[in-house]
Amino acid sequence: MSMKKFFLPVLFLFGIQITMAQIKKIEPPFWWSDMHHGTLQIMFYGDNIADYRVSSNDFVITGITKTENPNYLFVTIETQDVAPGTYTFDFVNGDLAYAKEYEFQSRRQDAALRQGFDSSDMVYLLMPDRFANGDPDIDSTDDTTEKADRSKQGGRHGGDIQGVIDHLDYIEELGATALWSTPLCEDNDAGFSYHGYAQSDVYKIDSRYGTNEDYKNLAAELHKRDMKLIMDYVTNHWGAQHWMIKDLPTYDWIHQFPGYANSNYRMTTQYDPHASKIDTRYNEDGWFVPSMPDLNQRNPLVTTYLIQNAIWWIEFADLDGLRVDTYSYNDKENIAKWTKAIMDEYPNFNIVGEVWLHDSAQISFWQKDSKIGAIENFNSHLPTVMDFTLQDALMAQHNEEASWDGGMMRTYNNFVNDFLYPDINNLLIFAENHDTNRINQQINGSLENYKLIMTLLATTRGIPQLYYGSEIGMRGDKGKGDGDIRRDFPGGWEDDKNNAFTAGGRTAEQEAYHAFTKKVFNFRKSTPVIHTGKLLHYLPDNDVYVFFRYSEKERIMVVINNNKEAQTFDMARFSEGIADKTSGIDIISDQEINLSEKFTIQGKTSAIIELK
């Protein structure tokens, strides 16, 4: 502050012209004191800003980087001893000079020790544009191109942050303890901008969803309910409309071939010992789609920018986790650096990466401390990966006959490979998400099969994720376009005839789906042995899969009968899992089960038996 009061008048005395029109953007826009990282890279953007000499009496400047684009200046400062307050940078270019303030804020108490989502949580995934319209006044905004039109499958429909906040009680009552929303930062594409993965400003919430403060309020409202907020973060690419893409800081800020080349999507090249360099390059450096330029994390300015942006959102909005889109398309060494930097800042945090592969060994390569990754001396530092092989099994097992490797054997065989993972509790498990066919579409609207799937997700190892609307039987066919698997939640708009957010507004079929989902996931929420207990399972017999979750004090027996016919079996086979217990209560039917007798389970039904 003292520099600002003294510097400008002195310049006038010496006849130097003052101008305040140079800087258009500063990123990060502000920072915090007492962060683990001892340096900060501040990007100043403005017309010919690189022509100016920058200095500060308040900060120790350790580096100034100019690029081939004179509109950018990257200034690195030491932050370890910077107290909360407003400080000054001074810019001079001949007879032109000005001062720019920069703020350091106080951190929340114990901000560094925040607890991320874990296996005690159930994650509810929603697409905000398709969930609920809480503020119709912002359906279309002046600063964004695409306007709301619910008649278009791929258009903006008007869902927003306020709509999510309005229905947090509904999400909580369902048994969810964490919320994952697809990206909320500005996506200013002319079409299909509703999905948010082509971001045009990564420091700004899209105005059609609300404001940065609205997003912070969403986290606060979740925390009041002892729930967590997971941000969908994109490190691999931005949208072509991003303001920096339109005025690149450096030619190699994005991958150039020169110009555009599409990814070959062959993520196996990341660890294939026989992969050609050109195939590897097109996977890592190729653009996901033409409207999403691929970011070059080998450029240290880019990686530092992404690290700081992620930390800024965690600190600003008080986040509890990140889900990283297309994780395995990034340059693996630098995405590991990005991940480690965040986990070093927040050691109890959690990050889940989208590793969309169909082999357990290949997926496990990407989890922190992977023995398979260690073969290449690689450690991703990524705590959680997504169990796509389990999702594959769940998509298939209910539409095929039992066989040597079919039916419930698909699920059994998936868990056989758990030895590959360093931490099986840190696997995100799911039947579907916003990029796959709806599970209720795959099982042709079978409530029986839905119950079997939810029984498994609610009781096996890992962190279960539920996709919005599944709990009321929503369907969608990806073959008809992504918009079909991302339909509007009924009741999210004032003129909707069916309001599935309320028991009175749900149809009988919707209520049947909802009641079962609510029962099993609320049981899971209050049953710690499911969160961290060991898993013991038995080979499926006649398409009946039996497994136990157990600890020294608690035991749960789960029976899933995928056979259309009733099955009767002797409990003696499961004595290892039953141990010294003699009876139990099936929380699905509320019936008492005598564990010393034969047990009959009806066709296409399941049981979750709390052993006594």
Contact predicate 418/363, CB 8 Å: no
Task: Please report which residue ranges of 418-563 form alpha helices under DSSP H.
Answer: 439-442, 447-459, 508-525, 528-532
Distance CA 478, CA 486 (A): 9
- Joined together, the tokens standing for residue 546 give 């039996």
Whether 354 sits among the annotated catalytic residues: the reply is yes
| Residue from 118, 160, 325, 586 carrying the catalytic annotation | 325
- CB-based contacts of 258, cutoff 8 Å, min separation 6: none
On the question of a cis peptide bond just before residue 258, with omega within 30 degrees of 0, the verdict is yes
Beta carbons within 10 angstroms of residue 476's beta carbon: 23
Q: Is 315 a catalytic residue?
A: no
Q: Could you give the CA distance from residue 418 to residue 542 in angstroms, rounded to a whole number?
A: 24
CA 180 to CA 34: how far, in whole Å? 28
The string of DSSP codes covering 556-596 is EEEEEE-SSS-EEE-GGGGHHHHTT--EEEETTTTEEEETT
Q: 364-369: list long-range contacts, CB under 8 Å, 24+ apart.
A: 364/420, 364/421, 364/422, 365/270, 365/271, 366/327, 366/328, 367/421, 367/422, 367/423, 367/426, 368/422, 368/423, 369/422, 369/423
Task: Work out whether the CA dihedral 77, 78, 84, 89 comes out positive or negative.
Answer: negative
Peptide bond into 528 cis (omega under 30): no
d(C-alpha 299, C-alpha 248), whole Å? 13
Distance CA 493, CA 498 (A): 10
Cα 77 to Cα 464: distance, rounded to the nearest angstrom: 42
**What is the distance of C-alpha 424 from the center of its chain?**
18
Choosing from 354, 432, 471, 586, which is the catalytic residue? 354
DSSP codes of every residue in 383-442: -EEE-HHHHHHHHHGGGS---SSSTHHHHHHHHHGGGG-S-GGGEEEES--TTS--HHHH
> Which position has the token pair 């993520």?
267
> 305 CB contacts (<8 Å, ≥6 apart)?
27, 41, 43
d(CA 55, CA 64): 10
**Residues involved in catalysis:** 325, 354
